[in-house]
Structure 1
Amino acid sequence: MTTMDQLPLDLGTRLYTAADYAALGETDYWSELQEGKIVVSPHPSYNHGMACFELSVQLRSQLPPNLVALLGLDLDLALVPEDQPGTVRRPDLMIVDRADRKSASAEGRLLRASEVVLVVETVSPGSRRTDYRIKRDEYADAGIEHYWILDVDEPISLLAFHRTEEFGYVDNGEATDTFTASEPVPLTIDLTTLLD
């Protein structure tokens, strides 16, 4: 892949498929693809980055050997046929099967929503509506069974959604201090240490 140090010249005048977007390669900006349009966001803040990293550390020690936590990688939601304007998100963290990660890497393709066990977004000042509404609907439509929203505003909280056939995502309320889950795998997260 080549590194781009500027935005594509046709930004705003062209709709991209997920494959077109992936072909752009590594970039110097933080972007996602939403219904064929490249959306550029500021790089994450210190608290955002630290909380994501610390969450991944806690997850790593608790995940079974077949699962791995990945930070900030592109994810093809596959909401439309491959030749249509696509949606590619870059979740702050996702848990996938190691075999699926290796397959995607060997095939030179993006991870697919069907390969994701859990996706996590950390709320930033400019992403609150996107994380709580837009991405929530997109991830549910893509069939991702578990979606967590981590909010690093004090007190740090985590809202965990699980997907149902009838209602889409539902949650059991926001957790502060300690979050415990039985699905997708048993996990206990100490939210109070994410910004230590």
Structure 2
Amino acid sequence: MTAIDERMTRFFEDLEVPEGCKAELIRGEIVMMAGPDMAHNLIVESIVDQVPRIRWHRLQTQDVAFPADASEPQPDLVVIERGAVKGPGRLVPAPAVTLVVEVVSKTSVLRDYRTKRELYAEGAVPVYLIVDPIKGLCVLLTEPTPAGASGLPDYVAERTTKFGEPVPLDLLGVVLDTSEFRTYS
């Protein structure tokens, strides 16, 4: 990490985000966005309800650490196995994360489909689920690799399903029911 990245990280840690907004540090840039839509929140709630609490922590406001990339995204949902992280802290190290979920908004399309896809693959997050209420689709990405076909970090396996179709989250032992997922109005 460069000196500029370190200064930006310190600045980000001290940033006071206005109520109703969310901020992320993505590749050295601070990205601020408005709070989510109700459809977005209901999708996240549905996923949380389907991931068994007995084995998994299902965290909705958790920053994830990617120190080599000057990134501290806050996915819409972070799933980590119980016992994978010891002690308190604002950041969960990327290697401890099993699943990240991003619910696409009109302003996050490029970030969710491209920037975060590369970031999560580079951080070796085993499962990245993109839920897109604009298109009514779920994109399940697995098998991260440091250099995909484009030479950039990517996921080897990609499975796209429509809302209403099941999404197998094999690593979690869950088949996600998406019948309650709704598109934006």
Normalised by the size of structure 1, how large is the TM-score? 0.75
* Structure 1, unpaired ranges of 5+: 1-13, 81-85
Question: Shift in Å at residue 153 of structure 1?
Answer: 3.2
Work out whether residues 179 and 189 of structure 1, in 8 Å CA contact, stay in contact via their aligned partners in 2: yes
Mapped partners of 1:37, 1:47: distance in 2 = 27
The C-alpha deviation readout for 1:25-56, integer Å capped at 9, x for no partner, is 77633100123332111111111112111221
Equivalence for 2:46: 54
SS, match of residue 166 in structure 2: strand
Work out whether residues 91 and 121 of structure 1, in 8 Å CA contact, stay in contact via their aligned partners in 2: yes
Question: Shift in Å at residue 179 of structure 1?
Answer: 1.9
Work out whether residues 106 and 134 of structure 2, in 8 Å CA contact, stay in contact via their aligned partners in 1: no
Q: Kindly tell me: are residues 26 and 130 of structure 1, through their superposed partners in 2, closer, same or farther at Cα, counting changes over 3 Å?
A: closer
Residue 53 of structure 1 aligns with an amino acid whose one-letter code is E
Equivalence for 1:8: none
Of 14, 27, 31, 2:23 maps to 31
Residue 121 of structure 1 aligns with an amino acid whose one-letter code is E
Q: Check if 1:100 corresponds to 2:84.
A: yes
Work out whether residues 63 and 91 of structure 2, in 8 Å CA contact, stay in contact via their aligned partners in 1: yes
The C-alpha deviation readout for 1:86-123, integer Å capped at 9, x for no partner, is 2110100011022235x242xx3411111100000000
SS, match of residue 99 in structure 1: coil
Equivalence for 2:140: 160
Equivalence for 2:55: 66
Normalised by the size of structure 2, how large is the TM-score? 0.79
Equivalence for 1:151: 132
Of 171, 174, 177, 1:190 maps to 177
Work out whether residues 63 and 72 of structure 2, in 8 Å CA contact, stay in contact via their aligned partners in 1: yes
Q: Check if 1:91 corresponds to 2:80.
A: no
Work out whether residues 167 and 178 of structure 2, in 8 Å CA contact, stay in contact via their aligned partners in 1: no
Equivalence for 1:83: none
Mapped partners of 1:55, 1:111: distance in 2 = 20
Mapped partners of 2:137, 2:8: distance in 1 = 35
Of 117, 131, 143, 2:112 maps to 131
Question: Shift in Å at residue 181 of structure 1?
Answer: 1.5
Residue 127 of structure 1 aligns with an amino acid whose one-letter code is S
Work out whether residues 118 and 147 of structure 1, in 8 Å CA contact, stay in contact via their aligned partners in 2: yes
My pick for the range that moved more, 168-177 or 20-29, is: 20-29
Mapped partners of 1:109, 1:191: distance in 2 = 30
Number of equivalent positions? 169
Residue 64 of structure 2 aligns with an amino acid whose one-letter code is L
Equivalence for 1:4: none
Q: Kindly tell me: are residues 22 and 99 of structure 1, through their superposed partners in 2, closer, same or farther at Cα, counting changes over 3 Å?
A: farther
Mapped partners of 1:87, 1:136: distance in 2 = 13
Q: Check if 1:140 corresponds to 2:121.
A: yes
Mapped partners of 2:121, 2:45: distance in 1 = 24
Q: Give 1:111-130 correspondences, 5 Å limit.
A: 111-130=92-111
| Residue identity (%) | 24
Equivalence for 1:9: none
